[in-house]
Amino acid sequence: MRKLVSSITILCCCISFISCNFAESEPCQIKDTTQKIATKKQEVVKESKSVKIDSLEFYCWWWGKEQMGKGLFDDDKQPPKNTYTKMEEWRYGDVNFLHPDKIDIVGNIANNTYLPQELLIEAQISFKVEYWEKVMNTPDNMYALDKIPWSGKVNLERKELLLQPQEKADVTFKDFNLRAVIDKYENDDKNGDLWPWEMKVEIKIKSKDGKKINESEKIIQIVPAD
């Protein structure tokens, strides 16, 4: 009888010990999960309340559809370009493909904070340059382009921008002479035709004292004639 009572007592003690440990560990697990969720929310809030680049686009002046109607366009007497057009690539060809001499780089900057922000906006352009035949003779052109390093960096004029709380504004780097870059590589090399196959624009937002706040980049292809 004594052995039975003793066994029951030990069993009850074990159950009590397990229950206590579970009761202590469960709030810890819930607390850890709650802290992770709270941290994630803080990161989202911090991002939404930052100064950032909402968009980065390329534009040029080109002929409108009404100017390029069938039989209307005279290549020998080209009319003024009257349409401000967004560019997704530069492609050499007839007037149906965008291949302007100069382009505008437009970044939309958003101040999502609750304080005015005095900002410095910097832009840098670089290119992937390689011999025309080397790229075109590679079965996978994109693979060949991936192997080419960025070079020929060009720093554009730095812009100053004052944004009020919750305000957005476009910053435009006007009239970058892309044609001059293309001509430079085509004409300066005696060993073959060099070509800038891709162009990358990097935009950096800095505070007035030069501290980096945010950055973004965009790449477009520069497609030569067949």
- 3 pLDDT band, cuts 50/70/90, is very low
Q: How many helices (H) and strands (E) does the chain have?
A: 4, 10
Bridging pattern class, strands 90-91 and 212-223:
parallel
Q: What is the pLDDT of residue 2?
A: 45
Q: Is the pLDDT of residue 48 over 60?
A: no
State in Å, rounded, how far the first CA of the chain is from the last one: 101
pLDDT at residue 22 above 50? no
Q: What local confidence, expressed as pLDDT, does residue 8 receive?
A: 43
Assess contact for 58 and 103: CB atoms under 8 A: yes
For 63-116, the pLDDT digits (tens) are: 988 887 766 777 778 888 999 999 999 999 888 899 999 999 999 999 999 999
How far apart are alpha carbons 69 and 183 in whole angstroms? 30
Average pLDDT of every residue of the chain: 82
Residue ranges of alpha helices (H) inside the chain are 2-48, 132-136, 141-146, 178-188
Positive or negative: CA dihedral 207, 211, 214, 217: positive
Quickly state the pLDDT bin for 128 (edges 50, 70, 90). Answer: very high
Domains of the chain: 49-223 (2.60.40.10)
- Which helix (H) or strand (E) segment holds residue 60: the answer is strand 51-62
